[in-house]
């Protein structure tokens, strides 16, 4: 048994994930003394061999850093971890407050977990989200599964698997539900994609102060690419004549041409005219650049900063992925566009993912409910008289006023 108080447990922020000059595994997990944690490097190399991308390796490295920090705090070797250690770790992940980031400029932030009154979206909470909890469990369990197959680590995986058989009684006519595999995974509520209403999107677009930002926003909500896909666009994959952009899909890494709106290409042309002769314009050069010297390709965090500045002016908390939700919702709710076409444009592996965007938004449901209440309060006109009775005689008999 373990009598640890996981809430008061002091887990020091020792160790770090370092970038290294290695094309296969560009990240290393270092301990408090700066030494490489070789079991993690070996596992990341295995992940790279399975085709995982560098961003996935980075995400896994940070999850394992959190696990190893916990092990260093409780003084347990990684290959001696037991089930009680895994349980306490996930309890600590769910209850420990997030470390505060140091900022050069201190600005007022809303309380953690509060809901924005304009967008209806909650702000990040004081602790890690449920998705982070489940991702930590999945990464740690896969880490020990790999080392068990290699004859290393504990005999029994400290992160057990549920005894339930996944999809044992699945109806082939129904979509595949989410299934818990790890015993310590928690159920996540089914979230409804949140699209930006047209009026609020117009306010957001009006806060874009450059042609580059207007072109980015227009392509996000018309073509629906992920931020990584759109920011990786090169000049050779912009077909202005057919109004197409070629993006590299996140999962398959395949090239796919997506239709974009005409106004997005107008803003793109204005932006390219502004940057003519300033940034490289070769076939394989990036389309999106910073607007200040020294000119560099636009990164995800720089693009996110543009949206954050607009959010600060509007008092909203929209994210880049909300733009993708907006594009998919607009296409899915168009009766003239088949759902299979929307699935192809968005790059969804299953059509059940696309069907989620057909669910009406909260604002639409509330507006229709209010209209229903208004109709219920309207006076009901009297029924027409039975055939054979003269209306003017009934009016005189019942005392109703003749027209």
CA atoms within 13 Å, Cβ hemisphere of 108: 3
Q: What is the pLDDT of residues 80-128, one digit of tens each?
A: 999 999 999 999 999 988 877 665 545 667 888 899 999 989 998 889 8
Confirm whether 110 is domain-assigned: no
pLDDT score, position 165? 59
Are 211 and 344 in a shared domain? yes
Are 87 and 209 in a shared domain? no
Contact between 138 and 185 under an 8 Å Cβ cutoff? The reply is: yes
Are 143 and 213 in a shared domain? no
Q: What is the pLDDT of residues 31-67, one digit of tens each?
A: 999 999 999 999 999 999 999 989 999 999 999 999 9
pLDDT score, position 173? 66
Q: What is the pLDDT of residues 236-252, one digit of tens each?
A: 999 999 999 999 998 88
pLDDT score, position 69? 96
Confirm whether 375 is domain-assigned: no
CATH of the domain at 296: 1.10.443.10
pLDDT score, position 153? 92
Confirm whether 82 is domain-assigned: yes
pLDDT score, position 401? 57
pLDDT score, position 400? 61
pLDDT score, position 73? 95
pLDDT band per the 50, 70, 90 thresholds, residue 391: confident
Confirm whether 376 is domain-assigned: no
pLDDT band per the 50, 70, 90 thresholds, residue 176: low
Confirm whether 388 is domain-assigned: no
Are 135 and 245 in a shared domain? no
pLDDT of 159 over the 90 cut: yes
Confirm whether 396 is domain-assigned: no
Structural domain total, the chain: 2
Contact between 225 and 324 under an 8 Å Cβ cutoff? The reply is: yes
Average pLDDT over residues 160-184: 68
pLDDT score, position 42? 97
Question: Which three-class secondary structure state does DSSP give residue 271?
Answer: helix
Q: From CA 347, how far away is CA 349, in angstroms rounded?
A: 6
Average pLDDT over residues 156-183: 71
Are 142 and 223 in a shared domain? no
pLDDT score, position 359? 82
Confirm whether 162 is domain-assigned: no
Q: What is the pLDDT of residues 313-368, one digit of tens each?
A: 999 999 999 999 999 999 998 999 999 999 999 999 889 889 989 888 777 888 89
Closest-CA residue to 225 (of 195, 201, 246): 246
pLDDT band per the 50, 70, 90 thresholds, residue 75: very high
* 344: its two tokens: 């192809």
Are 40 and 142 in a shared domain? yes
CA torsion sign for 44, 49, 50, 53 is positive
Q: What is the mean pLDDT of the chain?
A: 89
- Give the structural domain span for 93: 16-98+117-149
281's CB contacts (< 8 A; 6+ apart) are 235
Q: What is the pLDDT of residues 177-232, one digit of tens each?
A: 555 578 888 888 777 788 999 999 999 999 999 999 999 999 999 999 999 999 99
Cis amide bond preceding 294, omega within 30? yes
Average pLDDT over residues 127-147: 94
pLDDT score, position 2? 63
Q: What are the angstrom distances between the C-alpha of 67 and each of 13, 126, 363?
A: 11, 19, 41
């Amino acid at each position: 048994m373990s009598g640890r108080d996981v809430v008061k447990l002091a887990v020091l922020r020792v160790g770090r994930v370092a970038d290294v000059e290695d094309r296969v595994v560009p990240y290393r997990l270092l301990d408090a003394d700066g030494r490489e944690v070789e079991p993690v490097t070996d596992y990341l190399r295995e992940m790279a061999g399975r085709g995982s991308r560098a961003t996935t390796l980075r995400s896994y490295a940070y999850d394992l850093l959190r696990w190893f920090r916990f092990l260093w705090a409780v003084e347990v070797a990684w290959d001696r971890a037991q089930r009680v250690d895994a349980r306490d770790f996930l309890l600590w992940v769910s209850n420990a407050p997030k470390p505060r980031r140091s900022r050069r400029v201190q600005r007022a932030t809303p309380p953690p977990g509060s809901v924005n009154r304009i967008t209806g979206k909650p702000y990040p909470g004081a602790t890690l989200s449920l998705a982070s909890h489940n991702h930590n469990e999945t990464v740690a369990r896969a880490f020990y599964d790999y080392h068990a197959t290699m004859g290393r680590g504990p005999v029994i995986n400290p992160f057990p698997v549920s005894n339930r058989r996944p999809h044992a009684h699945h109806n082939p006519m129904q979509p595949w539900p989410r299934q818990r595999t790890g015993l310590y995974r928690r159920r996540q509520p089914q979230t409804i994609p949140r699209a930006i209403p047209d009026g609020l999107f117009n306010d957001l677009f009006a806060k874009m102060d450059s042609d580059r930002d207007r072109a980015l926003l227009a392509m996000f909500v018309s073509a629906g690419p992920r931020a990584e896909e759109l920011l990786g666009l090169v000049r050779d994959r912009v077909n202005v004549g057919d109004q197409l952009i070629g993006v590299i899909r996140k999962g398959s890494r395949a090239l796919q041409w997506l239709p974009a709106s005409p106004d997005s290409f107008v803003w793109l042309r204005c932006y390219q005219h502004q940057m003519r002769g300033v940034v490289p314009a070769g076939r394989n050069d990036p389309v999106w650049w910073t607007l200040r010297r020294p000119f560099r390709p636009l990164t995800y965090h720089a693009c996110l900063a543009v949206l954050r500045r607009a959010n600060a002016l509007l008092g909203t908390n929209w994210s880049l992925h909300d733009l993708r939700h907006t594009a998919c919702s607009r296409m899915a709710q168009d009766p003239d566009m088949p759902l299979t076409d929307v699935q192809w444009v968005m790059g969804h592996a299953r059509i059940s993912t696309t069907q989620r965007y057909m669910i009406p938004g909260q604002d639409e449901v509330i507006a229709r409910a209010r209209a229903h209440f208004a109709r219920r309060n309207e006076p009901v006109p009297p029924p027409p008289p039975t055939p054979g009775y003269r209306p003017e005689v009934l009016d005189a008999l019942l005392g109703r006023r003749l027209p």
